């Protein structure tokens, strides 16, 4: 958090977002911040946030500060903070919170955090809920330990991207028929479930290279595997078995869903692995850092009046600044990622760099991802079902926009600024985007429409899908702890389970972070400034797009009447850009 102080001292805010006015030469590539990824050297002035955004951040910081003060025992320091917070709260309620007081909130939050720097252990699981005083305790705290909630997290959680169909036995995951039947009953078999495409797996092999930190208290990295099956009758997704590391053996046994503390700890290890992969890859890597080269290349190569620049800039608002902030305060040495997560910073960033540098643009179009993971027939998959509605709506809007801007494929192919943009994005000296374009160029309206769909979807819907569940599902630490503090062993009891969870100060830091990240909704998909596009576009394709988004919302609300509500992708919760 301390990294924000010099940042907030140097930046200025502006009133309106949208298109930039910074010259192209200010958009400079840097390939060393998170090697080998391409990032901006520094956000140009017009990429800095609006005052409205800054005050929304200040409100959340202040709410967190008030909550944390209520948690602490009474002392002179706490009373001083309480008085300060009360005064700032009154300014906020009178809408008089200025940039100057925003910086005061940030400074006080950091100073307060330094007062609470001990690794106090919880005496009971209720101690984690007690960290929520003026901030509402998320609903998941009431049922986080249920197997049904554990299954839900795979298909409607913060990282609903890991589950895939299992079509053959996994050599290093020796689940037997006896394991399977002990959970699913004697009327079903693992062989039948596999043949009927009812068997699914979440494999966190990517975390196997994590290095254990040397800091105290000791943290234990895991790279687990989990098996799920749909029941024969209702096709209800059910957890079956977990192995906490990749290599099987006496010290790494198969745990089955038997309601024991061994099983609860094994589930917690899966959630821990899921949280680490989510934060480093699905969230930071495949949305924030993956979109950054597109922002830089657009600023470098497309004039402001270019039709593609005009379409994309609202979807890039705030991205360079929030990524720069993350680099300063989150993924820097001693930053929040290193404090909260399970491994050394170098090994975590190595995972991010490796994954994003190999992430294929064309191969990551949303419909293709479900085919790749073979989850088209998984019955209950809210993320898949809702996100596909947005993909179609965005594609229809992008296609109509391209049809308005280009008369033919030849017009696309002969657009030299567009081709320069593409070349910069795929260049080893530029954006380093893999698998982007067709035969080394952008040659057709069809492909350009698909590419724009991918960029807009990732900047809006996909980021929303992985960002906003952070408060509802990740701020209550027992549901998804980012670090595990004991080695797994069989025959565990309630105390060993409690010992596996983070100390209370780390749980409060996790709450603080995910409250900031998971509750700030700035702008809304499809809501461009009045007059931003031509009247022809606004009355035709844009109006159609906005109408389609409303229909998507109605469909989701109807679906939520028949399933555990998945509110993450309701239209009012999807910003235009990655701005938090």
Least confident piece of the model among 60-74, 168-182, 213-227: 60-74
**Closest listed residue to residue 19, CA positions, set 303, 401, 219:** 303
Q: Which residue has the tokens 């948690």?
A: 71
2 pLDDT band, cuts 50/70/90, is: very low
Segments in 157-313 forming alpha helices (H): 177-184, 190-195, 261-277, 290-301, 307-312
Mean pLDDT of 1-23: 53
In tens, the pLDDT along 191-237 reads 999 999 999 999 999 999 899 999 899 999 999 999 999 999 999 99
Q: Is residue 396 within 8 Å of residue 545, measured between CB atoms?
A: yes
Lowest mean pLDDT among 65-69, 142-146, 242-246, 335-339: 65-69
**Higher per-residue pLDDT: 236 or 74:** 236
User: How far is Cα of residue 63 from the mean position of the Cα atoms in its chain?
Assistant: 22
Q: Can you say whether the dihedral through the CA atoms of 488, 203, 473, 521 is positive or negative?
A: positive
Mean of pLDDT values over 264-283: 98
Phi, psi at residue 30, to the nearest 5°?
A: -135, 130
Residue (of 499, 458, 513, 512) closest to 264 by Cα position: 499
Read off the pLDDT of residues 114-162 as tens digits, 9 standing for 90 and up. Answer: 445 567 899 999 999 999 999 999 999 999 999 999 999 999 999 999 9
pLDDT reported for residue 96: 64
CA-based end-to-end distance of the chain:
15
How many Å apart are CA 23 and CA 20, to the nearest integer? 9
Mean pLDDT in residue range 451-463: 98
- pLDDT tens, position by position, 86-115: 777 777 677 666 666 666 666 666 555 544
Residue 95 carries which DSSP code? T
Give 75-93 pLDDT, tens digit per residue.
666 667 667 777 777 776 7
Residue 475 has pLDDT above 60, yes or no: yes
What value does the mean pLDDT of the chain take?
92
* pTM check: above 0.75: yes
Choice between 556 and 66, residue whose per-residue pLDDT is larger: 556
For residue 502, pLDDT over 90 is answered with yes
DSSP state of 245: S
Number of H helices, E strands in the chain: 25, 7
| pLDDT > 70: percent of the chain | 90
More confident residue, 534 or 51: 534
Mean pLDDT of 294-315: 97
What is the reported pLDDT for 56? 86
pLDDT bucket at 22, cuts 50 / 70 / 90: confident
Residue 374: band (very low, low, confident or very high) from pLDDT cuts 50, 70, 90: very high
**β-sheet bridge partners, residue 249:** 252
């Amino acid at each position: 958090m301390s990294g924000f102080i010099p940042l907030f001292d140097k930046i200025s805010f502006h009133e309106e977002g949208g298109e930039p006015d910074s010259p192209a030469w200010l958009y400079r590539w840097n390939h060393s911040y998170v090697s080998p990824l391409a990032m901006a050297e520094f956000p140009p002035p017009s990429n800095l946030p609006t005052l409205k955004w800054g005050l929304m951040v200040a409100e959340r910081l202040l709410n967190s500060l008030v909550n944390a003060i209520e948690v602490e025992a009474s002392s002179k320091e706490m009373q001083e903070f309480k008085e300060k917070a009360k005064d700032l709260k009154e300014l906020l309620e009178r809408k008089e919170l200025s940039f100057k007081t925003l910086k005061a909130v940030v400074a006080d939050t950091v100073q307060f955090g330094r007062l609470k720097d001990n690794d106090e252990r919880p005496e009971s699981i209720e101690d984690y809920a007690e960290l929520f005083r003026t901030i509402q305790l998320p609903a998941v705290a009431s049922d986080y330990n249920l197997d049904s909630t554990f299954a839900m997290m795979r298909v409607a959680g913060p990282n609903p991207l890991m589950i895939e169909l299992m079509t053959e036995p996994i050599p290093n995951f020796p689940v037997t028929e006896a394991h399977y039947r002990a959970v699913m009953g004697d009327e079903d078999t693992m062989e039948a479930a596999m043949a009927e495409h009812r068997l699914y797996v979440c494999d966190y092999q990517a975390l196997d290279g994590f290095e254990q930190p040397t800091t105290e208290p000791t943290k234990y990295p895991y790279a687990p595997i989990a098996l799920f099956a749909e029941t024969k009758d209702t096709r209800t997704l059910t957890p079956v078995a977990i192995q906490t590391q990749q290599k099987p053996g006496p010290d790494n046994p198969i745990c089955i869903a038997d309601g024991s503390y061994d099983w609860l700890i094994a589930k917690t290890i899966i959630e821990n692995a899921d949280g680490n992969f989510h934060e480093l890859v699905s969230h930071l890597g495949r949305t924030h850092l993956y979109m950054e080269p597109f922002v830089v290349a657009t600023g470098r190569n497309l004039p402001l009046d270019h039709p593609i620049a005009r379409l994309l800039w609202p979807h890039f608002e705030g991205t360079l600044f929030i990524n720069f902030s993350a680099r300063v305060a989150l993924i820097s040495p001693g930053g929040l990622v290193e404090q909260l997560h399970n491994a050394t910073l170098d090994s975590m960033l190595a995972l991010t760099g490796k994954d994003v540098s190999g992430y294929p643009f064309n191969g990551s179009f949303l419909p293709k991802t479900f085919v790749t993971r073979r989850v088209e027939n998984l019955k209950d998959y809210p993320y898949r079902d809702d996100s596909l509605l947005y993909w179609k709506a965005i594609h229809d809007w992008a296609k109509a926009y391209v049809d308005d801007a280009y008369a033919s494929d030849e017009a696309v192919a002969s657009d030299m600024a567009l081709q320069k943009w593409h070349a910069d994005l795929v260049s080893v000296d530029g954006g380093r985007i893999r698998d982007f374009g067709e035969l080394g160029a952008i040659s057709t309206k069809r492909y350009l429409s698909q590419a724009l769909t991918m960029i807009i979807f990732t900047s809006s819907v996909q980021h929303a899908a992985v960002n906003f569940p952070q408060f509802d599902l990740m701020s209550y630490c027992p549901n998804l702890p980012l670090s595990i503090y004991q080695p797994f062993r069989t025959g565990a009891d309630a105390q060993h389970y409690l010992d596996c969870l983070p100390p209370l100060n780390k749980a409060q830091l996790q709450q603080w972070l995910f409250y900031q990240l998971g509750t700030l909704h700035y702008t809304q998909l499809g809501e461009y400034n009045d007059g931003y596009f031509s009247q022809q576009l606004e009355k035709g394709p844009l109006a159609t797009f906005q109408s389609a988004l409303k229909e998507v919302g109605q469909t989701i609300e109807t679906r939520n009447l028949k399933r555990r509500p998945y509110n993450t992708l309701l239209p009012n919760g999807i910003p235009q850009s990655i701005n938090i």
